[in-house]
Structure 1
Amino acid sequence: MKKFLNTADSFLADSLAGLGAAHPALRVDIENRVVTRSEGVADGRVALVSGGGSGHEPLHAGFVGDGMLAAACPGEIFTSPVPDQMLAAAAAVDTGAGVVFVVKNYTGDVMNFDMAADLAGDDGIRVETVLVDDDVAVQDSTFTAGRRGTGATLLVEKIAGAAAERGDGLGVVADIGRRVNAASRSFAVALTASTTPGADRPGFDLPEDEIEVGVGIHGEPGRSREKMRPADEIVADMMAAILADHRDLGSGSDAIVLVNGMGATPLSELYLVYGRVAAILADHGVTIARNLVGDYVTSLDMAGCSITVCKAEESFVHLWDAPVRTPSLRWGI
């Protein structure tokens, strides 16, 4: 499989070096695998730290910056970072106000962030954890006890990050993150499998005329393997799963909607998907207050998309609109 790489073993380090060269506002510690803001966090502000396996870019390092994450811990491809990384990140960005760990619900991530929180506590760093588990496709799947954490991670990091930036306290920032997660539902479909650097074939077999319905961001199996069909039908099924689980999202509700590419889906196709999502929500009396369309939580070179719908409190919209300056999300500055 053709990819831009030198060796599979050096891929992450080489990629991080390029990230640092491209974005001087980031401090990239390649040895410890930690990405922080070059100018640090303002005194007295809570710091958000997240991380996970690489291959989901721009998540998480692409969201380090003013108004969002204070630090990110990239692991190897589809592999959790280790507690020492997380502890180093927390120590680097803590101003004394405490640290919020934003953790996608995967067994390795949860275990390692829990260990890091204990170690940070021993060092006098106060830590709160927000667990993201928004994927309604499956329960107790590969890598996961409970629901997987997917697209809502971006919403949690943006909205809770804005709360931290305005000076909210540790408990308040964590509570906002948990409320955003609780208000969010996601569902994904893969058209093709992804291929990790150095591998000679895709991570799973998906015939050309079939799709994986409810796929995970590491290529985990979904609800079913089905025949390819028109996009409107696929999106209707995805939205049916989201709306069936999102019982609080009724007529008169506002929503923040993310239509996310998995790494190899043209933007024209993502806009097609968004158009159908918007029509379905309008039929249900739901107003889209804010939206985002593009590649934000990817799976290397997978073709496919995920849809995330968050029932938007007024405070969520206000924090969503707050200024943000990161490599991959930027407005209001």
Structure 2
Amino acid sequence: MKKLINAPDAVVADALRGFEAAYAGRVKVDHELATVYRADPPLLGTVGLVSGGGSGHEPLHAGYVGHGMLSAACCGQVFTSPVPEQVLTATRRVDTGAGVLQLVKNYTGDVMNFEMAAEMAAEEEGGLEIATVVLDDDVAVENSTWTAGRRGTGATVFAEKLAGAAAEEGRPLADVAAIARRVNENARSMGMALAPCTPPSAGRPNFTLAEDEMEMGVGIHGEPGRATAPLAPAAEIAEQLLAPILADLPFSRGDQVLTLVNGMGSTPLIELYLMYGEVARILAAHGIHVARPLVGNFITSLDMAGCSVTLVRADDELVRLWDAPVDTPALRWGR
């Protein structure tokens, strides 16, 4: 294993120190509880947004803390859920009187620990008002190594952005949560891997592929997907990713979509742009309009090679919320 680290058990703590130094004045880090907060807290009376999960998926979630997205992100160890104490403390700190929305990827540990934190917060004196939206957009498998039900993947980026924009508008908690649910209901994702990732604590790849193989439907922790398949040209890979996505909602001719072509961590941008070209071609052939594209590394899996595609069927309101100003370390426009 060759990695730019000091020690496997110090990766998250060391990375958070670097993250805070890189974005000083924009984020604050509680190093004891490995939680990132906005440096400019939301206005009083606006909904707070808390998300989080295992580290190793950067820029998710810490990179999306800031104006127009998250109020706080709880960072677990690599591929390990944050503990309830982290979530509870973050929930308390970001509440400005309008309640807190928890956005949770559908992984068993994440769901359990966020649920425990929400229950503890609600039971406190003057209990906090909390809403929770669980994201489960991955069409690859119904159940996996890490989940009961579908996994939460690329839709998380869209939910954090669109719900964050609604919160900035001063909407009540029920409305902000409803936006996140609409995103999840209208989002479908699927990913693939050309090569596995290597968790620092393991020191070795977490699965194996031959030189002429790829894994279709892989999860963001490297967990297996639908099948190990023969390596194919990018145009065929795009077809194999989009076919189950388009069939699952199903998407229809005339739909407009927010589209993410996402890198898993070590895929160069030249290949991601090439893949987006294939995705755009296929969508156009189906009469589906890309309202807004996003291409790059937005929800990764350490150093995995591969990509994922997410489509969100979007009405004009969701497109407007996507265009609303955002100012985070990893996503920024309109300010």
Normalised by the shorter chain, which TM-score bucket? over 0.9
Q: Which residues of 2 match residues 70-149 of structure 1 at below 5 A?
A: 70-123=71-124, 124-149=127-152
Q: Post-superposition shift, 1:200?
A: 2.9
CA deviation string 1:218-257 (max 9, x = no partner): 001000001111110111011111111021x211111000
1:58 corresponds to which residue?
59
C-alpha root-mean-square deviation of aligned residues, in Å? 0.7
After TM superposition, give the deviation of residue 306 of structure 1 in Å: 0.3
1:37 aligns to what? 38
Question: Matches of 1:214 and 1:37 in 2, distance apart?
Answer: 34
The separation in 2 between residues aligned to 1:199 and 1:137, in whole angstroms, is: 26
In structure 2, distance between residues paired with 1:126 and 1:33: 24
Question: Which among 318, 327, 330 is matched to residue 329 of structure 2?
Answer: 327
User: Structure 1 residue 34: deviation in Å?
Assistant: 1.0
Show the 5 A alignment for 1:9-28. Answer: 9-24=9-24, 25-28=26-29
Instruction: Give the alignment of 1:1-333 within 5 angstroms.
Output: 1-24=1-24, 25-123=26-124, 124-247=127-250, 249-333=251-335
> 1:32/1:200 Cα in 2 relative to 1: closer, same or farther (>3 Å)?
closer
Partners of 1:129 and 1:119 in 2: CA distance? 14
Identity %: 59
Give how far 1:96 is off: 1.0
The answer to whether the 8 Å contact 1:261/1:306 transfers is: yes
Structure 2 SS opposite 1:190: strand
Please, what TM-score do these two structures have when normalized by structure 1? 0.99
**Secondary structure of the equivalent of 2:9?**
coil
Distance 1:286 1:214 in 2: 23
Name the TM-score, length of structure 2 as normaliser.
0.98
Give the 4+ runs in structure 1 shifted more than 3 A.
Answer: none
The structural deviation recorded for 1:33 is 1.1
Tell me, in whole angstroms, the C-alpha distance in 1 between the residues paired with 2:317 and 2:4. 43
Aligned partners of 1:52, 1:91: CA distance in 2, in Å?
18
Contact 1:34 1:88 in 2 (8 A): no
Letter in 2 for 1:97: A
* In structure 2, C-alpha distance between the alignment counterparts of 1:163 and 1:322, rounded to whole Å: 9
Q: Give the SS at the match of 2:195.
A: coil
Aligned-residue offset at 1:268: 0.5
Give the match's secondary structure for 2:54: strand
Deviations 1:4-63 (A, max 9, x none): 111111111000000001112101011111110112111100011000000000000000
Q: Deviations over 1:102-158 (max 9, x none)?
A: 000000000000001001112211110011000000011111111000000000000
SS in 2 for 1:240: helix
Partner SS state of residue 9, structure 1: helix
Unmatched runs of 5 consecutive residues or more in structure 2: none
Cα distance in 1, alignment partners of residues 48 and 59 from structure 2: 19
Structure 1: 5+ residue stretches without partners: none
Amino acid at match of 1:115: M
Output the CA distance in 1 between the equivalents of 2:236 and 2:287. Answer: 20
State the 1:304 CA deviation: 0.3
Residue 198 of structure 1 deviates from its aligned partner by 4.2
Question: Matches of 2:198 and 2:299 in 1, distance apart?
Answer: 16
Rounded to whole Å, the distance in 2 between the matches of 1:31 and 1:206 is 38
Q: How many residues align?
A: 332
